[in-house]
Amino acid sequence: MAHPPLVSAEWLHRRLAAPDIVVLDGSWYLPTAGRDPEAEYRDAHIPGAIRFDIDAMSDAASLPHMMPRPEVFASRMRALGVGDGMQIVVYDGHGLFSAPRVWWMLRTFGVGDACVLDGGLPAWIAAGHPTEEGKPRLRDRRHFSARLDHGAVADADDVARALETGTAQVVDARSGPRFRGEELEPRPGVRPGHMPGALNLPYAALLSDGHLKPPDALRTVFAENGVDPDRPIVTTCGSGVTAAIVALALETLGRPARALYDGSWSEWGADVARPVATGPVRAAR
C-alpha cells in the first residue's frame, strides 16, 4: 500500500484540493437506525465528496451488499468520475461503520490507494473543517480498472472448510446477543445464532468514539475475544458491512484478513442445510 489504511481529518484537510484526491461519502445505516444517508449527504458533506451508495454499487440480485461483477463496478466508478491513479478517501456519517466496507470493495477490486477517514464526518466537523450542502458536480468520466481478487472474497463453502479444518479463524463481527442467538435476526427467514466453531468479536469493541482504537488496544481486544491476528482470519457479520471493520483493524496491525465472507449471516442463516449454533462463544482451536 502507498498509504496507511486510516487517515485523520487534518491529513485530509491539508490535501483536499489536490487533483489526485477523491473523497467518497460511503454512509449506510441499518434500517433500525432511522437515518437517511442520501438526505444527510445533501444537508452536509465534505466539500467535493461524491456519494457512494453501497446498495446501488452492489449486486442485489440475491443477497444484500454482494460484490458486483468487475465490469459493472468499473462502469459505475467511471460514472462517478473516479479513475485509475487517484487516491480515494472514504468516510461515513456514523464515524466508522460503513466506510470500511467501501474501502474493502475498492481494495478487492485492485485499488491500492484507498483509505478510510478515521472518525468520519463527525471527526471532520469536530475539527472545525467546513462542509457543503447539495450535490457537487461530478468529475469528468475517467478510466477505472477493476480486477477482482477472488481470494479475498469467501463463499459459504470456503467458510465451512475453514471451520472444519481449522485452517482459518472465522470471526463474526455481530453483537454478542445476535451471535448467541438471543435476538431475532432483522432479515426474514434468517435463523438466529452463529456458525459452529466461529468466534465472536463485536465490531463495536474495536471502536472508541467513532474512531478505530490504537494498535495496542486492538491487540488486546483480539486477545480478549480469543482471536489470534497472526493466524489466517475470515471475517463475517450480518451482510458483509461490519465484517470490513474487523478487516480494517487487522490491516492497521499489519495482519491482513485472508478473506471476507460476502454472503455472511444473511446467506448462512437462511440456508437450512448449514448448521447453526447458539449460546456462548466456543473456544478457539
Residues that are catalytic:
237
Q: How many residues does the chain have?
A: 285
Q: How far is CA 37 from CA 32, 184, 204, in A?
A: 13, 25, 20
**Residue at 102: amino acid letter:** V
**Residue at 103: amino acid letter:** W
Cell of 144: 477505472
Other C-beta atoms lying within 10 Å of the C-beta of residue 156: 17
Q: Treating both helix axes as pointing N-terminal to C-terminal, what angle do 243-252 and 215-224 enclose, rounded to 10 degrees? A: 130
Query: Running DSSP on this structure, what letter comes out for residue 93?
Result: S
Query: Phi and psi for 45 in degrees, rounded to 5?
Result: -145, 165
Give the C-alpha separation, 74 to 28, whole Å: 21
Q: In sequence order, what are the residues at sequence separation of 6 or more whose Cβ sits closer than 8 angstroms to the Cβ of residue 119?
A: 8, 9, 95, 96, 126, 209, 210, 211
Q: Of the candidates 241, 279, 200, which has an alpha carbon nearest to the alpha carbon of residue 33?
A: 241
Q: Of the candidates 197, 217, 216, which has an alpha carbon nearest to the alpha carbon of residue 205?
A: 217
Positive or negative, the Cα torsion across 50, 152, 59, 110? Answer: positive
Other C-beta atoms lying within 10 Å of the C-beta of residue 81: 16
Give the C-alpha separation, 265 to 84, whole Å: 33
Give the C-alpha separation, 171 to 232, whole Å: 10
